């Protein structure tokens, strides 16, 4: 074989190219038939009549994690930004679990998020590019809660060579004071968001079962929102946290319905929220999309209980090209396409 390749390199090249093309075609046809088979078997089973509230992630928190989560949730609800000291020190994975639940478990905190995890001495634990999952020591004692309405939202952190936040006290104090006009804007967006979501649910015919309900929600998303990566998909440099809130974060949450466009994360959250309001338990699932290490990216699907099983939906349709224009996936197919995050358990999904 080696001698033949040496003698006929061009023929060997084209033989290999044809072989790879056939493999790709077979894979695409398999994915197409599987996705089609999923949607073809779904029936319009009766759905629960009452709204449900997903606790998929909250129920997986340990006692220590739940305490930190409750503290952050209270600070967000009361719009008290600045430095937050955790009741007990957290490892990197524990911190990730707490902050993920805070962002993903059904609340529309488009106006605030937690970042800059630090040691007791104010050293930023991710300084130098450290991966939180590799921080096994329980040394994260505090973090900063950023609010879009904070007067000091544009203050940038100043770091020493060892990662210590040199202007921590100044930044913490500035982030703890809110601008009243900006607070009022948050309230206005919350009201608008609720009105839109309520209108969608009110327009859902009572006789619609699970499948027609899913189709109704997906049709609404397709007709009323467009996909964005933030700032109209352009590559931009953000000068401060305020730009991050306005250019990205608001599109990642339920609040995106007020702006007529959303990121894939925003789509997934909106669809999940609508399912829960319609009596179909749902949550979002984050992970890394792509089988090849050269074509991988963070992505998110919406998990929902339908027809007695957990199905995963590409809410935004951004992966339609890889799914032959289908949106529904069974668990194993979803995991074939996307590696779910490892710091939550999905073995007993929903």
Helices (H), 262-348: 264-277, 331-337
> How far from chain centre, in Å, is Cα 118?
23
**Candidate from 48-52, 65-69, 279-283, 326-330 with smallest mean pLDDT:** 48-52
Q: Does some domain include residue 254?
A: no
Binned at pLDDT 50, 70 and 90, residue 138 comes out as very high
Whether the pLDDT of residue 17 is over 60: the answer is no
Of 38 and 110, the structure prediction assigns the larger pLDDT to 110
Which of 121, 154, 179 is a domain's end point? 179
pLDDT at 40: 77
User: Once rounded to an integer, what is the mean pLDDT over residues 131-158?
Assistant: 95
Distances (CA, A) of 99 to 37, 108, 339: 37, 14, 20
- 80 shares a domain with 173: yes
Q: What are the beta bridge partners of residue 193?
A: none
Q: Does some domain include residue 88?
A: yes
- 174 shares a domain with 63: yes
Whether the pLDDT of residue 163 is over 80: the answer is yes
The candidate with the shortest Cα–Cα distance to 99, out of 122, 127, 131, 71, is: 71
User: Once rounded to an integer, what is the mean pLDDT over residues 31-49?
Assistant: 73
- 69 shares a domain with 168: yes
Q: Using CA atoms, how far apart are residues 246 and 255, in angstroms rounded to an integer?
A: 11
- 73 shares a domain with 9: no
Whether the pLDDT of residue 156 is over 70: the answer is yes
pLDDT at 22: 55
- 172 shares a domain with 86: yes
Contact yes or no for 111/245 (Cβ under 8 A): yes
Contact yes or no for 316/264 (Cβ under 8 A): yes
- 36 shares a domain with 85: no
Q: Using CA atoms, how far apart are residues 237 and 313, in angstroms rounded to an integer?
A: 32
Q: Using CA atoms, how far apart are residues 342 and 350, in angstroms rounded to an integer?
A: 17
- 94 shares a domain with 141: yes
- 68 shares a domain with 168: yes
Average pLDDT of the chain is 89
Which of 148, 179, 210 is a domain's end point? 179
Q: Does some domain include residue 9?
A: yes
pLDDT at 13: 52
Q: Does some domain include residue 101?
A: yes
Whether the pLDDT of residue 231 is over 50: the answer is no
Domain ranges, residue 105: 58-179
pLDDT at 347: 76
Which of 133, 163, 179 is a domain's end point? 179
The residues, ordered by sequence, that sit 6+ positions from 240 with a Cβ below 8 Å of its Cβ are 153, 154, 155, 156
Q: Does some domain include residue 144?
A: yes
- 171 shares a domain with 89: yes
**Candidate from 167-171, 187-191, 245-249 with smallest mean pLDDT:** 245-249
Consecutive H or E run containing 313: strand 309-313
Q: Using CA atoms, how far apart are residues 249 and 114, in angstroms rounded to an integer?
A: 12
pLDDT at 98: 98
Binned at pLDDT 50, 70 and 90, residue 235 comes out as very low
* DSSP 8-class letter at 88: E
Q: Does some domain include residue 260?
A: no
Q: What percent of the chain has pLDDT over 70?
A: 86
- 82 shares a domain with 14: no
* Number of structural domains the chain divides into: 2
Q: Does some domain include residue 87?
A: yes
pLDDT at 15: 54
* DSSP 8-class letter at 166: T
Binned at pLDDT 50, 70 and 90, residue 37 comes out as low
- 146 shares a domain with 76: yes
Q: Does some domain include residue 64?
A: yes
Q: Using CA atoms, how far apart are residues 290 and 34, in angstroms rounded to an integer?
A: 17
- 125 shares a domain with 93: yes
According to the 3-state scheme, what is the secondary structure of 176-197? CCECHHHHHHHHHHHHHHHHHH
Reported as a single tens digit per residue, the pLDDT across 280-303 is 999 999 999 987 777 789 999 999
pLDDT at 238: 62
């Amino acid at each position: 074989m080696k001698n033949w390749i040496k003698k006929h390199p061009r023929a060997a090249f084209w033989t290999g190219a044809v072989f790879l093309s056939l493999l790709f075609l077979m894979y695409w046809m398999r994915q197409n038939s599987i996705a089609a088979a999923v949607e073809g078997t779904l029936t319009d089973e009766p759905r629960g009549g009452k709204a449900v509230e997903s606790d998929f992630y909250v129920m997986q928190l340990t006692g220590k994690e739940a305490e930190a989560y409750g503290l952050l949730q209270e600070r967000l609800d009361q719009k008290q930004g600045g430095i937050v000291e955790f009741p007990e020190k957290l490892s990197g994975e524990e911190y990730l679990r707490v902050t993920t639940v805070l962002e993903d478990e059904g609340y529309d905190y488009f106006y605030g998020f937690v970042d800059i995890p630090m040691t007791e001495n104010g050293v930023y634990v991710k300084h130098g590019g450290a991966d939180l999952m590799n921080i096994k020591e329980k040394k994260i004692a505090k973090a900063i809660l950023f609010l879009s309405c904070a007067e000091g939202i544009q203050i940038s952190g100043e770091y020493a060579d060892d990662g210590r936040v040199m202007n921590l006290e100044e930044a913490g104090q500035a982030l703890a004071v809110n601008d009243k006009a900006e607070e009022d804007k948050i309230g206005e967006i919350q009201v608008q968001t609720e009105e839109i979501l309520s209108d969608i649910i009110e327009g859902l015919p009572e006789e619609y079962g699970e499948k027609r309900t899913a189709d109704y929600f997906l049709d609404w998303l397709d007709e009323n929102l467009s996909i964005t990566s933030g700032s109209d998909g352009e590559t931009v440099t953000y000068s401060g946290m305020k730009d991050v809130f306005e250019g990205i974060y608001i599109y990642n949450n339920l609040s995106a319905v007020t702006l007529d466009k959303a990121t894939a994360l925003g789509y997934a959250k909106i669809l999940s929220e609508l399912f829960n309001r319609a009596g179909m338990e749902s949550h979002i699932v984050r992970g890394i999309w792509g089988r090849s290490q050269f074509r991988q990216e963070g992505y998110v699907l919406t998990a929902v209980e339908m027809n007695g099983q957990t199905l995963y939906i590409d809410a935004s349709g951004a992966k339609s090209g890889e799914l032959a224009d289908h949106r529904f996936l069974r668990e194993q197919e979803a995991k074939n396409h996307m590696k779910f995050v490892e710091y939550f358990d999905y073995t007993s999904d929903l």
